[in-house]
């Protein structure tokens, strides 16, 4: 049996508002102390009791709605004195249920009585929420302004929102919980998704959890009732016999409701904005009991599915959604006008369901007239719609109508019985008993033997199980060792690959050192491309020192930055297989760092090892530096001549200006 924790609560003072709290758990009462409203809410959220019992919810005043919203989903608020208009005093209830009372003006005594009465199932649960929850899935933070990076981030967030919506949709479908979903598409993903789930908060506990603070947010909003409801904790109220009806529902912001009886007569038409599923349920219950809940669209919305399940009614869904022309035609046949499109859609759905059943219902009417059960036509039709065949339904209704046969309680005079047959029967039974006792003894012996056999077989099975267990353990141990061997072999292969790579690098370094020591040739440090990553590799594996000569296979794509880095490294020369990009040439030329094509110097290369004859390299560098020196001198001379020419032109202009000024002065004089 599940243990229940109950908090009894009573007001101590109004300003400031304070409460006395007494707990009941497994028959044990404990005084918890004095709480403000804020501390009481925090205490309830931490302990998560099954019931918070109070003598009247009016004691919470304006804070009632806030208090109800803060309760954990599994915690009920119970008014033990009854529902409004039928309330009784705590003392009278306690006396009725055999609970001793003390000081009626002590708040802790009142809180104790509330807890004890709730433990006995006394009181009414306060219902503040519909069996309906709205779940909104949105992005968690603003995208902000920006270029390509912000666009990529925005698309990523919209994809995350779409994935979360799909995940929640899949969970709800697996849990068989009806819902409606509205989405807003953006960037091939979703900007938002809003679920309207037709289930209570308790049903969703553990299925959907709120998420905040990340790229995606999930928020849960229970739908509050317009007016508080009250449901008894223990027992069920008598339900009056209600008329069987067919109900059409058009869900949406404005809900349309239409009800017709099983003869096709219209009973009710109604439409209302923002009508939650609980209000729809209560409205329909006041009209009658639905045997069919119908919709005009296919597939059926979750809202309509929830209503059908609540009434345990059959759900009617058309093969394809009804067109507006078809709905208008149905209303013309009925000869009725409606206030809005929502009433039209609901009535069309209900009447379409009736037309589908009309031949069967007319056949039932004919059979009932023959059997004289016309007065019970609605009951028989409802049973047939629920799945019974016509014969079973008529039999059930007939049994209900059949008057009970009263027993004849008058004393009847009986003649004295003849005892001889009874004595003879007794003797036969005694012989039969003796025979059965002998048979019983024999069977007991057989049972003993069978038990010994069973015990022997159980021991054999136990030995076999032990052998199997040892075998399984050996196989598991072997499997673990095999997996360990596979891991070690993989690690060994990786280590061998590292050793092989390091060995190649070592051989290359040794070759370059030998060539460098001999002095006949200059070793070149080889780079596949002229890039930062390749430069870092060379520095990490063989090092890059001042005066080194680099050999680059393909320098395409290099720029000024890496050329300036090579200049800073103070390399002696750069040799390439393909021509250098112009920006690199300009940087190296300005820094007087020689650069050549490999075909000019006859470079010898094997794998990652390359050399050039020292004499060839030295002569090429000397010639290039001499040529650059002459080019620099020629450039300087040209610059000097250009300066002299510019000065001569400026001087000529100055003399001409002075001559013009003297001429003007003579003319004035």
- pLDDT for 249: 94
Beta bridge partners of 523: 611
In 147-188, beta strands by DSSP E? 179-186
Cα atoms in the Cβ-side hemisphere of radius 13 Å centred on 138: 12
Collect the ranges in the chain with pLDDT lower than 50: 1, 146-147, 235-241, 403-416
- pLDDT for 442: 81
- The DSSP symbol for 335 reads T
In 493-589, beta strands by DSSP E? 521-529, 549-554, 573-576
- pLDDT for 137: 92
**What CA–CA distance (Å, rounded) separates 519 from 509?**
16
Residue ranges per structural domain of the chain: 5-122, 131-225, 244-375, 491-669
Helices 341-371 and 390-401: angle between axes, nearest 10 degrees: 70
Helices 582-590 and 560-568: angle between axes, nearest 10 degrees: 30
> Which residue is listed with tokens 């009481």?
40
Give the alpha-carbon dihedral of 246, 247, 248, 253, to 10 degrees.
Answer: 180
User: What's the CATH class of domain 131-225?
Assistant: alpha beta
Largest pairwise CA distance in the chain: 186
The pLDDT tens digits for 481-513 are 999 999 999 999 999 998 987 887 677 666 666
Burial class (CB in 10 A: 0-12, 13-18, 19+), 524: buried
**What CA–CA distance (Å, rounded) separates 39 from 31?**
16
* 250 and 350 Cβ atoms separated by less than 8 Å: no
The DSSP result for 349-404, as a single string, is HHHHHHHHHHHHHHHHHHHHHHHT-GGGHHHHHHHHHTT--HHHHHHHHHHHHSPP
Tell me the CA distances in angstroms from 126 to 14, 283, 500, one per residue in order.
22, 20, 78
**What CA–CA distance (Å, rounded) separates 398 from 388?**
14
H helix intervals, 264-340 = 277-287, 302-311, 324-334
Considering the segment(s) 244-375 as one domain, its CATH architecture is 2-Layer Sandwich (3.30)
244-375: same fold as 131-225? no
Burial class (CB in 10 A: 0-12, 13-18, 19+), 600: exposed
- 283 contact partners, CB below 8 Å, separation of at least 6: 257, 270, 275
Beta bridge partners of 260: 246, 266
* Of 379, 406, 224, the residue nearest 288 (C-alpha): 379
CATH number of 5-122, picked from 3.30.160, 1.10.287, 3.30.420, 3.40.50: 3.30.420
Q: What is the CA radius of gyration of the chain?
A: 49
- pLDDT for 405: 35
């Amino acid at each position: 049996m599940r243990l229940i924790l109950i908090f009894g609560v009573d007001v101590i003072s109004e300003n400031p508002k304070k409460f006395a709290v007494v707990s009941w758990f497994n028959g044990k009462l404990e005084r918890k102390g004095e709480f403000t409203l804020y501390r009481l809410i925090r205490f309830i959220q931490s302990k998560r009791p099954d019931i918070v019992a109070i003598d009247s919810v009016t004691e919470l005043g304006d804070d009632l709605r806030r208090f109800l919203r803060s309760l954990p989903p599994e915690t009920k608020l119970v008014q033990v004195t009854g529902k409004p208009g039928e309330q009784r005093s705590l003392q009278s209830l306690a006396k009725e249920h055999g609970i001793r009372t003390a000081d009626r003006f002590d708040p802790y005594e009142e809180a104790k009585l509330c807890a004890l009465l709730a433990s006995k199932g006394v009181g009414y649960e306060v219902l503040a929420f519909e069996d309906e929850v709205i779940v909104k899935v949105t992005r968690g933070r603003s995208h902000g302004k920006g270029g390509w990076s912000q666009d990529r981030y925005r698309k990523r967030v919209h994809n995350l929102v779409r994935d979360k919506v799909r995940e929640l949709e899949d969970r709800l479908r697996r849990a068989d919980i009806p819902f409606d979903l509205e989405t807003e598409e953006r960037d091939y993903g979703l900007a938002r998704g809003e679920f309207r789930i037709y289930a209570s908060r308790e049903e969703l506990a553990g299925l959907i959890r709120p998420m905040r603070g990340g790229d995606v947010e999930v928020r849960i909003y229970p739908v509050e009732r317009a007016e508080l409801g009250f449901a008894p904790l223990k027992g069920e109220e008598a339900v009056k016999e209600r008329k069987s009806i067919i109900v059409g529902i058009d869900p949406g912001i404005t809900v349309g409701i239409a009800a017709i009886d099983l003869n096709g007569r219209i009973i009710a038409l109604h439409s209302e904005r923002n009508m939650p599923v609980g209000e729809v349920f209560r409205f329909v219950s006041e009209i009658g009991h639905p045997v069919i809940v119908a919709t005009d669209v296919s597939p059926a919305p979750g809202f309509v599915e929830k209503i059908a399940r609540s009434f345990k009614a059959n759900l009617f869904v058309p093969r394809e959604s009804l067109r507006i022309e078809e709905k208008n035609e149905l209303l013309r046949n009925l000869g009725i006008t409606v206030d809005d499109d929502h009433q039209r859609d609901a009535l069309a759905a209900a009447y379409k369901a009736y037309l589908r059943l009309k031949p069967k219902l007319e056949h039932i009417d004919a059979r009932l007239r023959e059997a004289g059960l016309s007065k019970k036509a609605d009951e028989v039709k409802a049973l047939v719609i629920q799945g019974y065949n016509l014969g079973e339904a008529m039999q059930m209704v007939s049994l209900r109508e059949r008057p009970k046969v009263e027993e004849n309680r008058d004393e009847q005079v009986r003649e004295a019985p003849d005892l001889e047959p009874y004595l003879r029967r007794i003797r036969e039974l005694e012989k039969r008993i003796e025979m059965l006792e002998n048979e019983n003894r024999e069977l007991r012996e057989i049972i003993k033997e069978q038990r010994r056999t069973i015990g022997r077989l159980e021991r054999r099975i136990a030995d076999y199980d032990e052998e199997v267990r040892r075998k399984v353990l050996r196989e598991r141990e072997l499997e673990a060792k095999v997996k360990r061997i596979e891991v070690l072999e993989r690690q060994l292969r990786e280590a061998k690959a590292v050793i092989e790579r390091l060995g190649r690098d070592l051989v290359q370094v040794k070759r370059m050192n030998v060539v460098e020591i001999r002095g006949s040739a200059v070793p070149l440090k080889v780079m596949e491309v002229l890039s930062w990553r390749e430069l870092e590799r060379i520095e990490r594996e063989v090092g890059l020192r001042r005066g080194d000569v680099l050999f680059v296979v393909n320098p395409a794509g290099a720029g000024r930055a890496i050329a300036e880095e090579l200049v800073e490294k103070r390399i002696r020369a750069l040799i390439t297989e393909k021509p250098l990009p112009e920006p690199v040439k300009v940087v190296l030329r300005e820094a007087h760092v020689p650069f050549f094509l490999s075909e000019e110097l006859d470079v010898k290369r094997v794998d990652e090892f390359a050399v050039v004859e020292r004499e060839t390299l030295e002569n090429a560098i000397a010639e290039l530096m001499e040529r650059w020196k002459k080019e620099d001198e020629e450039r300087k001379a040209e610059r000097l001549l250009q300066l002299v020419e510019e000065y001569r032109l400026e001087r000529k202009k100055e003399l001409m200006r002075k001559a013009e000024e003297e001429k003007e002065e003579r003319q004035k004089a």
